Every structure is written in structure tokens, then in C-alpha cells.
Amino acid sequence: MGAIFAKYDIFGAFLVTIELAVLSAIGALLIGTVVAILRMSPVPVLQLVGTSYVNLVRNTPLTVLMVSSILGVSFILGLSWSDNAKTNAFIWAVIVLSVYHAAFVCEALRSGVNTIPAGQAEAARSIGLTFQQSLTEVILPQAFRGAIAPLGSTLIALIKNTTVVAVIGVSDAANLMAVIIENETGGVLVFGIFALGFVILTLPVGVWFTSLSRRLAVKR
């Protein structure tokens, strides 16, 4: 097994997985927040846009989105972010992971909004706050606190879903695991090592978000 660690850059592959997860999590949080605002908007057209986005993205397999980004958009339409194939695949992977998980971030935030008593929004309107002011000063701060646990679950799912990027050639942990199993003996042990690596990545995230949700829970 020591020879495998010497021959293959396993730690580097997990570093790529971490980079994918961090960048995609930031993108998903930003996009998901915008979509959540659209869904909470008093304008019916904006509500329709937000709802359509969530329903369409959530019901489309991630693998289909990932492959479409390379075969459909990059190769056929010629939209590339870099002349380097690996860099281009990495950027597309981040974009697709962000867009896909933004739908789940949106639903997590909506679950946080549902924990807020309706009287608070009514009180905000009664003192003359606009929709934007009540959203940024009253609703969203409490929604984020109420959505910490589901946001943590979404982040864990995102980390595990980074394995899908192997289908477009990103050299992450899942891609390297497939290469090692194909070329070396001891496939079960190799799989166990990579599975343990993902447990090490996801377990602290779950524990931290659970603890954070308890400490920041809105007191009623």
C-alpha cells in the first residue's frame, strides 16, 4: 500500500475535491440565496422564475448536467473558460455543482423562513419597512440561523457529489480511485481508503453544523 501512496498523488486528489467543494459551496450559497429571494418575492413572475429553477434543476440528474456542460456547451457551442482541458473541466465542474446545489440551498433557506412567525413580517410592514428592508433586516438573518442544519446537509451532499466530476475528466479523488483500482491490486482496500477519506471530510462538517445550529437557534 505504501507503494501506491508513493506512485499516486492521493492527497493531491483529495485537495482537488476540497477545492471543488469550497468553491461550489460559495457559488451555491450565492445563487441559492438569490433564488430564495425570487421565490419569496411579492412579484408573481419572479416567484415563477424561482420555482421553475428549483423544480427543473432538482429533477435533472447531476450527471446529465455535468456531461452536458462539456459535450453540449463546451465542445458543441465552443464556450470554454480555458485552453487547458483540465482547467476548463474544473471550472465547468464548479459551475455545474454550484447551479445544481443552489436549488437545495434555496429550499433550505425557505425551510428557515418557515420557522419565522408570520407576525414578524407583518410587523415589519406595519412600521413602514419595504420588502427589501424586511427581507435583509428581519427575515433573512433569522432564516439563515434556522437553516443551518439543512445547509450543513446540503454541504455534505455537495462534498459527496464531487465524485460525479470524474465523468468530465477532473482529477479528483474519485477519478484517481478508479485509476488505481484499474491498474493496481487490492481494489477493496483502495476503495476503503478513499471511502475513509470522504468520511474524514464529511463527518466534521456534520458535527460542526449540528453544534452551530444548536448555538444559533432562534429562541422563541
Alpha helices in 61-169, H assignment, sequence order: 62-67, 85-114, 118-126, 131-134, 140-146, 148-161
pLDDT at 105: 92
Question: Cell digits for 196?
Answer: 475513509
Question: Cell digits for 53?
Answer: 429553477
* Rounded Cα–Cα distance for residues 37 and 47 (Å): 9
CA dihedral for 27, 101, 149, 108, sign (positive or negative): positive
pLDDT at 149: 85
Containing 111, the helix (H) or strand (E) segment is: helix 85-114
Residue with cell 455543482: 97
* Rounded Cα–Cα distance for residues 217 and 32 (Å): 21
**Ranges of each domain in the chain:** 2-215
Residue by residue, pLDDT tens for the chain (220 residues) are 566 666 667 788 888 889 999 999 999 999 999 998 888 887 889 889 999 999 999 898 988 888 887 777 766 666 766 677 778 788 888 999 999 999 999 988 888 877 777 677 677 777 777 777 777 777 777 777 778 888 899 999 999 888 888 777 676 777 777 777 777 776 778 788 888 888 888 999 888 888 887 776 665 5
Which CATH code for domain 2-215?
1.10.3720.10
Question: Cell digits for 51?
Answer: 420555482
**Helices and strands (H and E) in the chain: how many:** 11, 0
* Rounded Cα–Cα distance for residues 138 and 42 (Å): 16
Closest Cα partner for 164 from 92, 213, 215? 92
Other Cβ atoms less than 10 A from the Cβ of 96: the count is 26
Global pTM value: 0.84
pLDDT at 155: 92
Question: Cell digits for 123?
Answer: 410587523
